[in-house]
Amino acid sequence: MKKVFIIDTIRTAVGKRNGVFSRTRPDDLLVHCLRALVQRNNSVDWERVGDHIAGCAMPEAEQGLNVARSAVLLAGLPQAISGMTVNRFCASGLQAVSLAADKIMLGNEDLMIASGVESMSQVPMGGNKPSFNQKVFTNQDAVGIAWGMGSTAEEVSVRFSVTRQEQDAFAFESHRRAINAQEKGYFTDEIIPFTVERHSVVDNKLQTNTQQVLKDEGPRADSTLEALAKLKPVFAGQGSVTAGNSSQMSDGAGAVLLASEEAVKAYQLTPKAIFHGYTVAGLDPKIMGVGPIKAIPKLLDQVKISLDAIDWIELNEAFAAQSLAVIKELKLDQAKVNPQGGAIALGHPLGATGAIRTATIVSALRRNKLRFGIVSMCIGTGMGAAGLFESCS
């Protein structure tokens, strides 16, 4: 199997649902990322890129019609680059990275683009016309598919004995870490500025106002434990899952350029990381949030590495309840988990998250002179995913 090198990772800032990117088409966010990849890697012969694989959890409407191929053409990349859109819900962006890496590992391609994109402002959770097979409701093995994500988080909190106080403390720490990372400029090298235009008519004249989006919109410097404790449960009357200890619905995009060793030499590229492997695993949909409990050990076994060797873990915070359950069950070092905050503070644009967190972990490993990192997340309908990265610094 050939080595797979991560040459570049790039992302937009993450906007809140109905926030800064609410009127920006998701395909425009993805196009912006692809153009930036080209500008930053001008030694590459882009005609030689084998494919562009884009992850999207709700691939319809403004992010439908095979957004991967559309983005290639709209970005002005060579028409020779094909495109494929993949959907594994919250792991779609990471799945795209893995599929792109597979083509290189097998020797079928030397250059690949992987990406993720999602607008939860323009395409709602579940899409515009969710339609469950009615047999789901009479099948106890499958009924969890129809449970809302918040209901699965409540189930996890009960089964894994995660208290409301623990969840709120975890959420507060997510915001604290994210604000600290923003203030220290840790996200600067992975985020590309995006200019949002707003048009209005004043005195019968068209006016255009612009805003350059440079940082994630979600982190709150004013978050406090007292404020979090006052929030009411959202999904169960006597529950513990609130809007404050859940991930934010968000908009964003990210892209990754991958290459073989031959391409690295041919185009005189400087790799940032090596992609070693990826796994997915299934479990009861009612506790979908603990999917990483299955996926991370499976990944470590696949790549023959111990958990102690992992220096950094980007564990997507769908909910504080599921994050804490995973941390407890796998005995993860909390100092290594989301040191710069997670989705509770930074947002979770579903299918884009895997590509975005790839940008974060590659940057963080290099900046901190660390070696191994894992990106992992739970997935709707009862799955977990995990990918292993090694810094080249």
Q: How far apart are CA 54 and CA 114, in angstroms?
A: 6
Closest CA to 377 of 46, 182, 88, 117: 88
* Extended strands (E) in the chain: 5-11, 15-16, 52-55, 83-86, 111-119, 194-202, 205-213, 250-259, 273-282, 312-315, 372-379, 383-391
Query: Is 33 assigned a catalytic role?
Result: no
Q: What is the pLDDT of residue 157?
A: 98
Catalytic residue among 32, 175, 276, 348: 348
Q: How far apart are CA 352 and CA 33, in angstroms?
A: 12
DSSP, res 252: E
Helix (H) or strand (E) holding 180: helix 164-183
User: What's the Cα-to-Cα distance from 68 to each of 4, 29, 84, 136, 339, rounded to whole Å?
Assistant: 21, 12, 5, 31, 31
HSE, CB side, 13 Å, CA atoms: give it for residue 177: 20
Helix (H) or strand (E) holding 297: helix 291-303
325, two tokens: 């359950």
- 136 three-class SS: helix
222, two tokens: 């004013």
136, two tokens: 């789901």
Residues with Cβ within 8 Å of residue 35, at least 6 apart in sequence = 75, 76
HSE, CB side, 13 Å, CA atoms: give it for residue 13: 27
Cβ 94 vs Cβ 315: under 8 Å: no
255, two tokens: 């892209």
- 54 three-class SS: strand
Cβ 380 vs Cβ 348: under 8 Å: no
Q: How far apart are CA 183 and CA 176, in angstroms?
A: 11
Q: What is the pLDDT of residue 199?
A: 78
Cβ 252 vs Cβ 349: under 8 Å: yes
**Distance between terminal CA atoms of the chain?**
22
Cβ 381 vs Cβ 87: under 8 Å: no
Query: Is 348 assigned a catalytic role?
Result: yes
pLDDT-flagged residues of the chain (< 50) = none
Residues with Cβ within 8 Å of residue 167, at least 6 apart in sequence = 157, 240, 241, 242, 245, 319, 320, 321, 324
Q: What is the pLDDT of residue 198?
A: 84
Say if strands 383-391 and 273-282 run parallel, antiparallel, or are unpaired.
antiparallel
Handedness of CA 52, 269, 393, 216 (dihedral sign): negative
DSSP, res 134: G
Catalytic residue among 90, 175, 199, 276: 90
52, two tokens: 């562009």
